[in-house]
Amino acid sequence: MQFKSTRGKVAGKGFVDTLLMGLADDGGLMVPERIPAVTDQTLASWRGLDYISLFLEIFALYVGDDIPREDLRAMAERSYGRFRDPQVTPLVRVKDGLHVLELFHGPTFAFKDVALQFMGELYSYVAQRQGEIIHILGATSGDTGAAAIEGVRGKEGIRICILHPHQKVSRVQELQMTTVDDANVLNLSVKGNFDDCQRVIKELFADLDFKSGHHLRAINSINFLRILAQTVYYFYAYLRLDEQARAGKVDFSVPSGNFGNIFSGYLAKRMGLPVHKLIIATNENNILEQFVKTGVYRSGDFRSTHSPSMDIQVASNFERYLYYLTGEDAVKTAAYMQTFHKDGEIVIEGEELAQVQRDFAALGVGNARCLETIADFKTQHDYLLDPHSACGVAAAEACGGTGETVITFATAHPAKFDEAIKLCEIEQEIPEPIQELFAKSQHQVVVDYDKAFIVRQLEAFYNGVNLVGGTEAHE
């Protein structure tokens, strides 16, 4: 399998090169040259596979000869062996027509672990096999950073620097990132919001000399590896449904921010998974809801909500969907993105908008409704949702049709967001690995939103020099 860019100027790249490239050199996003088809017969033959075996079947369609299957298996076993549930992503039936797919059983208690545990293994493998220097650079609204750091801490040949918005991530998210004391980890806490952090990262990756000179590698959900790793649990969840549920219409409701997770669902559908509707659940940062309802994709004012990992106004993976919406027209995709860059909005109309509305339903869930959903779900089903997952449930209830089966994603463990749970007047038991974080010391550098200064911090870190300037915070 080879990969190409959504903007048409990069093509013929193998799986490992695609992993290393991250953002395509022409500014686009990497996609497969051709989406492999999974026939009904193949799908039926996958029934009963355990998570890792299913993972290997799906990856085999994309990896080609780049990595021997036994190496892939060893990496997958190490990655998913760290999950607290043997099923990796167990499917829980809550009531007729509603299932919760729990994606939070990894080391950092959020769904990002599913892709980033494996990505850490793969980067380490490539570093050893090809002698590559791997300098991971990423921005996080909280969960990506924690999961990425956990995936590569202490691994040889890899350094990782993560930017997060200062005091705009949850307490547990901050502790998960900053209590790591391995020398190959640098946390920059940026006085700004997530979009500011992401903007700096995007600019640095767009500077090809800087990118190659410093061996920069991405972990953001723009990396196709993450998209692919996430398609596995769409298949897994579907295959776990009983026959009756599978026979009807199956929707997925996905708490969304950067459009990564939901795009994995779109890819699964294009591969042949019989998905009826993909429901985009957002919070008050509802750019995606507006897009699905009106065809206008425009970032609005940034809102801080109970679900900070979805506090995002520019969805990095959106371009991948545009590419398929235009019928894989790279010229048109590039033009749309240029318009967005210039005017701050894209308008989709006519048949294209009709297609958007066939592919997706969407709901932006307000803060009050989010908390109500947590409280109601606890009362009715004795099941505690975190605020992100609650947005998914609220959207599932609003958008799922009668007789349809909705699989709604629990993207984080509620203990990660106890601030919101307390607002619902619910006391929860905090799992031990999270409790232990509060006793550890923190390592992070608080910096202004100043690109030049951030670059100097990075260069010092990549050159193995001790950090200067900023405020080293060890509170």
* Angstrom distance (rounded) from CA 89 to CA 18: 26
Contact with ligand PLP (CB under 6 A) among 19, 110, 370, 458: 110
- When asked if residue 253 is in the footprint of ligand PLP (CB under 6 A), the reply is no
**Residues 215 and 134 sit within 8 Å (Cβ to Cβ):** yes
- When asked if residue 260 is in the footprint of ligand PLP (CB under 6 A), the reply is yes
In the bound state with ligand PLP, the residue whose beta carbon lies nearer, of 127 and 278, is: 278
The 3-class SS string of the chain reads CCEEECCCCCCCECHHHHHHHCCCCCCCCEEECCCCCCCHHHHHHCCCCCHHHHHHHHHHHHHCCCCCHHHHHHHHHHHHHCCCCCCCCCEEEEECCEEEEECCCCCCCECHHHHHHHHHHHHHHHHHHHCCCEEEEEECCCHHHHHHHHHHCCCCCEEEEEEEECCCCCHHHHHHHHCCCCCCEEEEEEECCHHHHHHHHHHHHHCHHHHHHCCEEECCCCCHHHHHHHHHHHHHHHHHCCHHHHHCCEEEEEECCCCHHHHHHHHHHHHCCCCCCEEEEECCCCHHHHHHHHCEEECCCCCCCCCHHHCCCCCCCHHHHHHHHCCCCHHHHHHHHHHHHHHCEEECCHHHHHHHHHHEEEEECCHHHHHHHHHHHHHHHCCCCCHHHHHHHHHHHHHCCCCCEEEEEECECHHHHHHHHHHCCCCCCCCHHHHHHCCCCCCEEEEECCHHHHHHHHHHHHCCCCCCCCEEECC
Nearest to 113 by CA among 134, 84, 70, 156: 84
Residues numbered 308-327 forming contacts with ligand PLP, rule: CB under 6 A: 309-310
- When asked if residue 255 is in the footprint of ligand PLP (CB under 6 A), the reply is yes
Contact with ligand PLP (CB under 6 A) among 6, 256, 286, 442: 256
Pairing type for strands 250-255 and 278-282 reads: parallel
The catalytic residue among 4, 13, 112, 269 is: 112
In the bound state with ligand PLP, the residue whose beta carbon lies nearer, of 217 and 388, is: 388
Listed ranges 105-113, 210-218, 267-275, 331-339: which one lies at the site for ligand PLP (CB under 6 A):
105-113
* Angstrom distance (rounded) from CA 332 to CA 110: 36
**Interaction pattern, residues 335-374, with ligand PLP; x per rule: CB under 6 A:** ----------------------------------------
Residue 146 C-beta: closest distance to ligand PLP, Å: 9
Residues numbered 184-223 forming contacts with ligand PLP, rule: CB under 6 A: 221
In the bound state with ligand PLP, the residue whose beta carbon lies nearer, of 305 and 444, is: 305
- When asked if residue 412 is in the footprint of ligand PLP (CB under 6 A), the reply is yes
- When asked if residue 261 is in the footprint of ligand PLP (CB under 6 A), the reply is yes
- When asked if residue 388 is in the footprint of ligand PLP (CB under 6 A), the reply is yes
Contact with ligand PLP (CB under 6 A) among 79, 258, 286, 313: 258
- When asked if residue 18 is in the footprint of ligand PLP (CB under 6 A), the reply is no
Residues numbered 112-131 forming contacts with ligand PLP, rule: CB under 6 A: 112
Residue 234 C-beta: closest distance to ligand PLP, Å: 13
Residue 307 C-beta: closest distance to ligand PLP, Å: 7
Pairing type for strands 91-95 and 444-448 reads: unpaired
Residue 66 C-beta: closest distance to ligand PLP, Å: 25
Q: How big is the site for ligand PLP, counted in residues (CB under 6 A)?
A: 18
Residue 388 C-beta: closest distance to ligand PLP, Å: 4
In the bound state with ligand PLP, the residue whose beta carbon lies nearer, of 314 and 353, is: 314
- When asked if residue 90 is in the footprint of ligand PLP (CB under 6 A), the reply is no
Helix or strand holding residue 160 (H, E): strand 158-165
Listed ranges 25-33, 43-51, 207-215, 258-266: which one lies at the site for ligand PLP (CB under 6 A):
258-266
In the bound state with ligand PLP, the residue whose beta carbon lies nearer, of 220 and 333, is: 220
**Residues 101 and 95 sit within 8 Å (Cβ to Cβ):** no
Listed ranges 249-257, 335-343, 377-385, 445-453: which one lies at the site for ligand PLP (CB under 6 A):
249-257
112 is catalytic: yes
Residues numbered 133-172 forming contacts with ligand PLP, rule: CB under 6 A: 143
Residue 192 C-beta: closest distance to ligand PLP, Å: 18
- When asked if residue 237 is in the footprint of ligand PLP (CB under 6 A), the reply is no
- When asked if residue 257 is in the footprint of ligand PLP (CB under 6 A), the reply is yes
Which residues form the catalytic set?
Answer: 112
Interface ranges with ligand PLP (CB under 6 A):
110-112, 143, 221, 255-262, 309-310, 388, 411-412
